Amino acid sequence: AQTVTQSQPEMSVQEAETVTLSCTYDTSESDYYLFWYKQPPSRQMILVIRQEAYKQQNATENRFSVNFQKAAKSFSLKISDSQLGDAAMYFCAYRSPYTSGTYKYIFGTGTRLKVLA
């Protein structure tokens, strides 16, 4: 069975600095999808970034980028130029490919990010 591990329950970063959130996963599949979701105090779940396992290039979305290491099964999120609005809970998630027939999502336990002014 697939698992997703976020080993940092909480992290802090100074405004305008860079922070990296860690995520590791375990799977026997070669094709899959990885996601980072943001959950601000409003509890709304917001997709930050996604990565297809077959793509070697790391995904980027403005100030957010990932370091995807397939062999190491690692998927970290880097937030550059941190802003107060980045303060939230961040969840890493794994999804089986559509072709697997299961289409299940596995989420990590989350990392709470605090941004210090």
Is the CB of residue 48 less than 8 Å from the CB of residue 80?
no
Among 12-20, 68-76, 78-86, 98-106, which window interacts with other proteins (CB under 8 A)? Answer: 98-106
Q: Does 109 bind other proteins (CB under 8 A)?
A: yes
Cα–Cα distance, 72 to 114 (Å, whole number): 27
Q: Does 91 bind other proteins (CB under 8 A)?
A: yes
- Which of 16, 104, 114, 116 touches other proteins by CB under 8 A? 104
If phi > 0 it is left, if psi is from -120 to 50 it is alpha, else beta; for residue 103 that is left
Q: Does 43 bind other proteins (CB under 8 A)?
A: yes
Q: What is the largest CA-CA distance in the chain?
A: 46
- Which of 40, 102, 114, 116 touches other proteins by CB under 8 A? 102
Q: Does 97 bind other proteins (CB under 8 A)?
A: yes
- Which of 8, 33, 67, 70 touches other proteins by CB under 8 A? 33
Task: Transcribe 3-48 into DSSP letters.
Answer: EEE---SEEEEETTS-EEE--EEE-S-SS-EEEEEEE-TT---EEE
Binding residues for other proteins, rule: CB under 8 A, are 6, 9, 33, 43-45, 47, 50, 52, 91, 93, 97-98, 102-110
